[in-house]
Amino acid sequence: RMEREGTSADLGIRGQIQSESAQIGIAMQHLGALLLELGRTMLTLRMGRSPAESVVNAGPAVYISPSGPNPIMAQSWYFKTGNYK
């Protein structure tokens, strides 16, 4: 939609694009948190020598909570390396 109508001067269309972008961004953030949690849990898988020795020791969730994704602070390398000049 951005390609088709991104240059429009119509405030209604621009508002719709903004709203849709925010909704998609939130959905992607939720999906990202779920994938991070799945990856973290998979890293705790221990197969053992037999099926009886297999275990997943993930502990409590880190990236998600009952209310949604937890805030994640990511440090940007871009500003730390002076690439913004």
Tell me the per-residue pLDDT of 22-39, one tens digit each, with 9 for 90 and over.
Answer: 899 889 988 999 999 999
Pairwise CA distance, residues 17 & 23, whole Å? 10
Q: What is the pLDDT of residue 46?
A: 92
Tell me the per-residue pLDDT of 66-82, one tens digit each, with 9 for 90 and over.
Answer: 888 888 765 555 555 55
Give residue 11's Cα distance to chain centre. Answer: 30
CB-based contact 17:3 (threshold 8 Å): no
Residue 49 clears pLDDT 90, i.e. is over it? yes
Which helix (H) or strand (E) segment holds residue 9: the answer is: none
